[in-house]
Chain A
Amino acid sequence: MTLALALTPYVYGLGFFMMAAGLLIALTSRHLIKRLIGLGVFQTSAGVFYILLSKVSGGTAAIRLEADSPAARSLASRLDAAYIATHGVDGVVYSNPLPHVLILTAIVVGAATLAVGLSIIVRIRETYGTVDFEELAALEAKALRDGREDEA
């Protein structure tokens, strides 16, 4: 347990670092596609946080084994009986399946929304001829200036 205690700030810290780094890529990169990739990293890191919470030490995947089957017994031989009695279900310790369900669908939905973002980028490139954020900002500023001159 002391080892798990020492690992706790490290693993959560890495998860938070990945989240912050993904956000940084999404906010600062000049290429729009890299911005979307950064957003993808941010999203995946949110999933990492969920999965970190779901892990149970000594647990196995949440696919129910039959009580006293050879697989269940071989898993049980690695842990002490008291631990299994407190935290196990029918003699086997499982990790929490609920975050898995949430993240599983989030990944597929994430890919679909990534496609929407990319198609917006494709349209931007076709309309303005660039996907560079700075150039697009310059184009926008120029369009605004021109519009103001027209009004005057």
Chain B
Amino acid sequence: MTRLLAAPEAELVFAALLLTLLAGLVLALLAARSVLTCILLMSVFSLTMALWLMVMDAPDVAFTEASVGAGVSTMILLGAALSSTDVIPSVRPGRFWFPAVACLAAFIGMALALSDLPVFGDPGSPPSSYVGRLYLEHTPHDIGAPNVVTAVLASYRGFDTLGETSVILAAGVGVLLLLGGSLNSRDPVSEDVSLRISAGSPVLSVAARLLIPIICLYAFYVLAHGEFGAGGGFQAGVILAAALILHALVFGVRETMRALPVGVVRSCAALGVLGYASIGFIAILHGGRFLDYDALLSPVFEAGLPSSHLAGGHHHWGQRLGILGIETGVMLAVASTMTAIFYAFAGRVSRSDEAGAA
């Protein structure tokens, strides 16, 4: 025994330590007295969460948490918090005790269920034994893609993901209904001072010019590589939106709106979901079931294509095509919705500044 701990155990201890750090961040959040502090703590919480997820063997989730939680969510929160008061007044004790007791009761209730939960890391636990294992065993044969998470997300449970993409679109529509925001990009969105990091700084603009194309390229890599490694449409969409938001922060929202008009962004959000659903209908037209990618290509055509090495001679070109197609739809919908939401908040901020100045 040369090592202090065997590798699997060290992994669990490291995960527990990171979880302690996360709980500490939540404590700090509980005590924070300023909105800006809260938002930054939330961002740090998300990044630490991404690290913890990596230790917990969930790279796809870590990827999403890092790009959504630490990136886009923080930006939207900052955009909404900019023109409100920063100081959080303390709660009156009369309004604190009842919720505190309720939360304590909830904690105790959950803790009572502890004895029924599987041991941390138990390979034979009910959640890990049946369905999860089945997907792990059958994915290479059914889908022909190594990444089981992408296979389940895009193919096995493709109908579910269609619903989730629609929820994102619906949330975007909800934001637009609440905040209005004009369709016409030539409308007076004033020169927004508040949402620009530093107007006209040469260092920022040169760095952004270099970074934005690389971020976009990376988004497409994440999209196309989702079957083989961590990644997929959701992550790619958020990364693409992050590139656009970076552009807006450095060059101003007006410039971004000129490059990518509001109308185009909104149409793309709807087109993404439409594209996803139409792949399902194409499968029906080819005689399969809704979102049955195996029906996308005819067997005769597929037989002429080279077979994938993982599947032991099986052809999965229909699955490949279907997954890439719906992931592209997801990316389009997520990126456009996030950008439209950012546009709506940025437009609000500049308009309320104008009102304040007048």
- Known interface pairs A20-B107, A112-B167; A107-B61 also in contact (CB < 8 Å): yes
A7 touches B77 (CB 8 A): no
Which listed residue (B11, B53, B152, B178) contacts A98, Cβ 8 A? Answer: B152
**A residues with CB within 8 A of B:** 1, 3-5, 7-25, 27-31, 33-34, 36-38, 40-41, 44, 47-48, 51-66, 78-79, 83, 86-87, 89, 93-101, 103-105, 107-116, 118-123, 125-126, 130-132, 134
> Number of B residues contacting the other chain (C-beta, 8 Å)?
116
Interface membership of chain B positions 151-171, coded 1 if the CB is closer than 8 angstroms to chain A and 0 otherwise: 011000100110010011001
**B residues with CB within 8 A of A:** 5-9, 11-13, 15-16, 19-20, 22-23, 26-27, 29-30, 32, 35, 38-39, 42, 45-46, 49, 52-53, 56-61, 64-65, 68-69, 72-73, 76-77, 80-81, 83-85, 88-92, 95-96, 99-100, 102-104, 106-107, 110-111, 114, 117-125, 127-128, 131-133, 135-137, 139-140, 146-149, 152-153, 157, 160-161, 164, 167-168, 171-172, 174-175, 178-179, 228-230, 232, 234, 238, 310, 334, 337-338, 341, 344-345, 348, 352
Q: Across the interface, which residues of A come within 8 angstroms of B85, CB to CB?
A: 31, 130-132
B96 shortest CB reach to chain A, Å? 5
A7 shortest CB reach to chain B, Å? 5
* Selected A-B contacts with CB under 8 Å, 7 pairs: A13-B114, A36-B77, A37-B42, A105-B153, A107-B69, A108-B234, A115-B175
A91–B154 Cα distance when bound, in Å, is 26
A114–B152 Cα distance when bound, in Å, is 26
Q: Across the interface, which residues of A come within 8 angstroms of B16, CB to CB?
A: 7, 10-11, 14
Q: Across the interface, which residues of B come within 8 angstroms of A23, CB to CB?
A: 99, 103, 106
Q: Across the interface, which residues of A come within 8 angstroms of B229, CB to CB?
A: 63
A8–B15 Cα distance when bound, in Å, is 11
A27 touches B137 (CB 8 A): no
- Known interface pairs A11-B16, A64-B146; A121-B80 also in contact (CB < 8 Å): yes
Q: Which chain B residue has the least Cβ–Cβ distance from A93?
A: B123
A59–B137 Cα distance when bound, in Å, is 15
A21 touches B128 (CB 8 A): no
Q: Which interface residue of A14, A31, A114 has the most chain B CB atoms within 10 A?
A: A31
Q: Which chain A residue has the least Cβ–Cβ distance from B157?
A: A101
A125–B85 Cα distance when bound, in Å, is 10
B136 touches A62 (CB 8 A): yes
A116 touches B23 (CB 8 A): no
A29 shortest CB reach to chain B, Å? 7
B171 touches A107 (CB 8 A): no
Which listed residue (A12, A105, A125) contacts B84, Cβ 8 A? Answer: A125
Q: Which chain B residue has the least Cβ–Cβ distance from A3?
A: B9
Extra contacts, 7 of them, besides A37-B38, A134-B89 (Cβ < 8 A), are A7-B12, A28-B100, A33-B80, A53-B125, A56-B123, A57-B9, A100-B58
B179 touches A119 (CB 8 A): yes
A119 shortest CB reach to chain B, Å? 4
Q: Across the interface, which residues of B come within 8 angstroms of A53, CB to CB?
A: 117-118, 125, 127-128
A37–B45 Cα distance when bound, in Å, is 11
- Known interface pairs A25-B29, A122-B348; A97-B136 also in contact (CB < 8 Å): yes
Q: Across the interface, which residues of A come within 8 angstroms of B310, CB to CB?
A: 64, 66
A114–B168 Cα distance when bound, in Å, is 11
Q: Across the interface, which residues of A come within 8 angstroms of B30, CB to CB?
A: 21, 24-25
Which listed residue (A9, A105, A107, A120) contacts B161, Cβ 8 A? Answer: A105
B11 touches A118 (CB 8 A): no
Which listed residue (A5, A8, A31, A97) contacts B88, Cβ 8 A? Answer: A31
B230 touches A63 (CB 8 A): yes
Which listed residue (B9, B99, B147) contacts A24, Cβ 8 A? Answer: B99
B234 touches A105 (CB 8 A): yes
B136 touches A34 (CB 8 A): no
Q: Which chain A residue has the least Cβ–Cβ distance from B151?
A: A97
A59 touches B64 (CB 8 A): no
